[in-house]
Structures are given as C-alpha cells and as structure tokens.
Amino acid sequence: MKSRVSPAPIARPDEGVPTAAGGHDRPPGPLVHAFGVEYAHVRPPEGGDLFVTRFGWPDLDALMPARWYADQWYANHGEKLTGATGQVYRVPPRPGPGRTLDLVVKFSRVAQDVPIVAEASFPAEVRADLIAEARFNSPMEEFGLVSELRERAFGPPGMRVLTQRPLAIYAPQEAFDLWQMGRSSSTFFRHNAMLAEDQGEAAKAIEMDIRRIYVVLYGWLAGRDAEACFLSGELAEEEFLGLTPRVLDDLNVRGFRVLDNKPKHYILRPRTGGGFLRRRDGSLAYGLVDFELLQRTVEHQNRYHSERRARYWRMQSCPSGPAGAAAPAVAKPESHLRSVKVFGVDYRYGVTPDGGRLWVVGREEGLFDYFLPDRWRRTPRIKLSVTGEVYRTGTRDHVDIVYRRSRVGFRPRVDPLTRASRAIRESGYNSPFEEVATAERLRQMGIATIWPRAIFHTGHQTAQAPRLRDPRRFADHAAYVVPGEPPEPVLSDGHDYYTIWDLYRGADPPRDVGRDAARGAIALARACDDGLIPAEEVRETLERTRERLVQVGLPADGLAAEEFVVPFDESGEPERNADGSLRLRFSLDALTAFEYGLIDEAIYLGLIRRMNDRLRTVDFETLDPSGRHLLLGMDESGRVLLDAAGEIHMALCNFSLIRGMYRPIR
C-alpha cells in the first residue's frame, strides 16, 4: 500500500501570517516579493496599489491613502521638510483607528535626473564616472537596500546603522503625460527590467508604470538633524565636522555608501537637560534618513556572494543534509516550509513567490532560498544536451548547478523496433521524485552519481498535445500529497517540472569542509574566495590549463574557475604536481571524451558495460545506456582519472530511464 506524506498544517492564503514584530495579522491580498522584501499588495477603496512591508502591517489603517494622501492631506496638514531637494513631508495621518504615528511621505524621483548640486556632497572616494552615472533608486530597490542595511548581515557583530522603518509604497491610480513626470524613458525601463528580473516569472509580479507616481512611506525618526543642531550652537564644531567621516566609515563597514551624504540626513536625539543621546563609547548616536541614492559598495557585492556561497556549502555539509541521519531540524513557528518525505527522500517543501512549488532535498531549512526560481532561471546558462533541456548555470548566489526539464508526462518517442525501445515505451519517463530517489539509492549502494538538490514545479500551466501525453506517472503518484487544504498530489498534470543538481567536476563535493579547514576536493573559485589559494595563482593556473587542454585537442575557450576543483590533502594544503602547479579536476561525459580522442572505442564501450553491470548488481537497470550519461573525472592535462581500484572514475548523471529490475523505486 502506498503511504501518504504526513505534513504539518499550514496557513491558508486568507489566514493571518504573524509578523516578526509579534502577532499582527498580515493585510488581505496577495504577498509579493521584490529585492528581498515581502509586501502585502493591498487595493485601497480609492484606487491605486499599496505595497505594505512587514513593518507596516501593524499600522495598515494609518497607511491607507484616505488617511494621508486624499485631498492632498500630506501637503495641507503635513510639514514640508526644509533642505530636502525633493517633495518630502512629515505627515500626521487623519484621525482614525490604529496607533498614533507620524509618517515621512516622499515622492520617488525614479528615472529623473540627479541634481548637479548633489555632487558637492558625494563621498570623496567615489569615482567621477559613478557620479556622472548616479541615478535615483526605484521605490522597491530603495526598500530592498534599506532592509539589507538594517539586517546587519555584514560588518562587526553588534554594530548597526539606525534608519527609518520602511513601511509602504503607494502608487495612485492617476496617470500623467510623460512630459509631466520629468522621467527618462530609457532609465525608467532599465529600472523596470531590473524589477522584472528580480521577480523572475512571478505570477503576481510588481510592475511599474512610467505614467504613475510612486510615494514611499517611512516611519518618522524622532530627533533633529545634525546641521540644525550645529547651527543652533547645541553641537560643537569638532563633533559636527567629525560626524560625516564617521557616518561614511560606518556605512562602508556595512558595505554601503550614500552618494548624497550630508549632515541634513543624520538625526540626533537631544536629551532632556542638554546634550545628545550617545553610544556606550561616548560617540554620538545617530539615525540615517534619505536613501534614494543608497548603493552597495563593490566590496560588499563581492563579499555578499562569497558569504552566500560559503553559507550554502556549510549547510550542505551539515549532518542534517540529505545523507545525514540526524534528527530533523525544527522549523521556526513562522516558517512557511514543511518537512515531507517522498519515496524515502526527505525534503523541505514550500510555495515560491511565483506560485510554483519547491522541494529542496534534505532537512536544512536555510537551503530553500538558494533554489527559488528567481535565483537560477534568469541567470546566463549553457545548454549541455542536444536531445533535452539541460542547462548549466551559476545562480545569483554564485553556486554552480545543472538543471533539467523533466520529461514526465510525455510519451517516449522511440520506435518499437528493438527490445530496448519496447522497454522504454513500456516503462515511460521517471518522475522527478523517482529520479532523485534513484540517485540517492544508487549512491548509498556505492555507485557514484551526481548530487540531487531540488525539484521545482512551475506555477503556470503548460498545455500538451494529447497525442504526446503519458498519464501513467500521475496516476501512480496520486497517493503522495503535499501540504495544503485540500492536499494535492506532488505530481500534477499540466505543469513543468525541473530537477536541480550539483555541477559535477570529477569529484564529489566535500561533506566536511568549512572556511577553516580544507579536505577533499573544493571548487577552484570557492578556494579562491575563501582565501585558500591566491587569486593571481588561480589566474595563472587557468591560463596554463587552457594551453594544456588545447594541446590534446579539447576546446578551452571560456573555461572558468567554476568548472574545476582542486584536491586538498589531510594537512589542508592544495595538492600540487612535481613542477609546483596546482592539480585540478574537471568532468567530461564519456561520449565527448571518445569524440575528442581522449579514450578509444574499446574503453568507451567497456565503460558502458561496466556501469550496466554495476546497476544490475544492485537490482537496477538503465533502459537507455549511453556515454552521454557517464561523467568521467579528468585532470588538468586532459587525462582520465582512475579510482582506488585502478578503473576509470565515472559518475552517473541521468536517471530518467533507470528502473528497478524487480520492483519500482516507490
């Protein structure tokens, strides 16, 4: 009897979701995401679109445009802030339900020209070309950068930069002529393209309209700006002059810069009886406002990707990963992810922002975000197969993966002329869950395979020509369901499925390698990021390796550090050849190795026979034996690698037509 997956209950779309601030339900309407920020998309009765962050959920009543925008309440009852180059107001909302608070209402200048007067206050270390190309952030981009700055992901522990709380973004429904907006069409469309790229193929995507205005709403930060405090004589000149360099340093440590950085944007807190609020070290405590010219530093961008990749490998190496036997990790109460098991494989399951579904192999919750579709579906890719949709890509977190579109639900297009072809037609293509379970089972039995990482089910439906359909797997999987009300099968007809795998480079990824110890084989790019190998040596090694591969007849143009691994010895040092050069490993499928003369026909056929024999010894068989499905380990000179038994090292990389000889994987 087939068992059902037993998920924990999850909130329905119309149920409240607790905020991080404690207990307030989210507003009605769909949740949307942009630049790392989650919004509730609210449709106010007066029209337009209101995007409310989690900070704003508790104060939704005060954020509704009827309380601050209608009849130009912000201008008639608010205070226009002096010194601001744009339209910025401090606004007490109309009396009504909810807490009393003051809002900062700022009209976004996205795609407008940056005033030349701002250059005088640009940080001195910013290059002239960056000043010339300065642009105002779009509303969603601005909120994303502010949220990232507030999260304190970079810099010394405990250090923070206090900012206003980003509450909401409002786009009134009125449309204006382009000449009235003062916007550059090319700049605006570039912003919109960035927004679209960030959201991937989200079903409820946010889209900006060049004819509409956008208003950002922040919480008011109590205090007075440093310039006013200096002019009134309350702040000594020495401290005033030292404040801007200190703010610049604090931001730089956090990985940011504000191109229009000036004392008007530093908020100090006067104390009763005189003086100002200070930190424990005696320095002035300050808050920062105005972020339409906030940017990441180049160092931040590089460090961000390095840290994200290092965190990814730490989680993949932990005992609670797919190969571990530790107790399941306990999800946080607010988590939308659930633990499920399909065909004996543990997954963390959740719905993606674009309405799709994602199963990430293992029990580690933190890995889920790495495989969201916007992290890998729009990055540059290389097609690896002439017969199917198989691509290699580097994700936005600079993790190298291979993803393939599953052919489940399609009738195999092979003529029934041979016994092998008839067997393929009889069996059909495996589902993604069967592929992952097969790879996991084979590796447990000692057969080298690539590592499965995730399964993605698209949110949009795909229609199939009836003559191409093969409904058998959908019927077979009907008993396996995912969390939801009502529960739905893990395999649903009319959707595309993708399997995601580690990029295999001729050696398995290490299971016990962190930033402080090196053992096994590590990606060359990762070893460089982690400071284990100098960048200059990596560059020289790549040049020398390309020359060597060209000499044996392999095309080497475009080969990058991401495609190689370097083995490390027990002492944590990279292995080297007799001439002192780094030893490298990479992979090549057996058919390509044969076509370029790296192995002869006898060896090629012997590899296929040996893999078939190994599969049969563990009661499996492949219905489509091919050298395309065998990845060989190669060294930096294009020589095939041998395993401990003295045989050519190979790993299986395709599981769509592998089946159990006596019973199915399920």
Strand 452-461's sheet: what is its strand order? Answer: 338-342, 345-351, 357-361, 452-461, 495-502, 400-405, 390-394, 381-383
CA atoms within 13 A on the CB side of 465: 3
Tokens of 5: 């997956």
Are 611 and 628 spatial neighbours (Cβ–Cβ below 8 Å)?
no
Locate tokens 């407008």: which residue?
112
Pick from 50-59, 340-349, 496-505, 569-578: least confident: 569-578
Pick from 93-102, 221-230, 274-283, 314-323: least confident: 314-323
C-alpha 625/C-alpha 616 separation (Å) is 13
Longest CA span, the chain: 95
pLDDT value for 114: 77
C-alpha 224/C-alpha 266 separation (Å) is 8
C-alpha 588/C-alpha 554 separation (Å) is 11
| 98: pLDDT strictly greater than 90 | no
pLDDT value for 14: 30
- By the 10 Å C-beta count (0-12 exposed, 13-18 middle, 19+ buried), 66 is classed as middle
Tens of pLDDT, residue by residue over 398-454, are: 888 999 999 998 888 888 888 888 888 888 999 999 999 999 999 999 999 999 999
pLDDT value for 121: 47
Domain regions of the chain by residue span: 35-296, 301-502, 520-660
Tens of pLDDT, residue by residue over 240-256, are: 999 999 999 999 888 89
* pTM for the whole structure: 0.65
Amino acid at 363: R
C-alpha 294/C-alpha 218 separation (Å) is 15
Tens of pLDDT, residue by residue over 63-89, are: 999 999 999 999 999 999 887 777 999
Pick from 43-47, 131-135, 192-196, 502-506: least confident: 131-135
C-alpha 470/C-alpha 409 separation (Å) is 5
Amino acid at 524: L
In the predicted model, what is the mean pLDDT of residues 527-532?
A: 79
Give the best-scoring range by mean pLDDT among 77-81, 190-194, 492-496.
77-81
- Identify the band that residue 115 occupies on the pLDDT scale cut at 50, 70 and 90: low
pLDDT value for 563: 86
- Identify the band that residue 470 occupies on the pLDDT scale cut at 50, 70 and 90: confident
- Identify the band that residue 158 occupies on the pLDDT scale cut at 50, 70 and 90: low
Percent of the residues in the chain that have a pLDDT greater than 90, as a whole number:
44
In the predicted model, what is the mean pLDDT of residues 41-55?
A: 93
Are 131 and 119 spatial neighbours (Cβ–Cβ below 8 Å)?
yes
Are 32 and 11 spatial neighbours (Cβ–Cβ below 8 Å)?
no
Task: Kindly give the residue spans of alpha helices, DSSP state H, lying in 445-589.
Answer: 472-476, 524-529, 535-551
Give the best-scoring range by mean pLDDT among 21-25, 418-422, 505-509.
418-422
- Identify the band that residue 20 occupies on the pLDDT scale cut at 50, 70 and 90: very low
* Collapsed DSSP state (helix, strand, coil) of residue 74: helix
pLDDT value for 3: 33
Tokens of 182: 């003062």
- Identify the band that residue 155 occupies on the pLDDT scale cut at 50, 70 and 90: low
Which residues, at least 6 apart from 42, have a Cβ–Cβ distance to it below 8 Å?
27, 28, 29, 49, 50, 51, 52, 60, 64
- Mean pLDDT, the chain, integer: 82
Tens of pLDDT, residue by residue over 267-311, are: 999 998 889 999 888 899 999 999 998 888 877 777 777 777 777
C-alpha 168/C-alpha 219 separation (Å) is 10
| 334: pLDDT strictly greater than 50 | no
Which residues, at least 6 apart from 259, have a Cβ–Cβ distance to it below 8 Å?
118, 122, 123, 126, 130, 131, 134, 293, 295
Q: Which helix (H) or strand (E) holds 567?
A: strand 565-568
Amino acid at 587: S
| 18: pLDDT strictly greater than 50 | no
Are 451 and 313 spatial neighbours (Cβ–Cβ below 8 Å)?
no
CA torsion 378-384-386-390 (nearest 10°) is -50
Q: Which residue has the higher pLDDT, 15 or 398?
A: 398
| 60: pLDDT strictly greater than 50 | yes
Q: Which residue has the higher pLDDT, 662 or 63?
A: 63
- Identify the band that residue 142 occupies on the pLDDT scale cut at 50, 70 and 90: very high
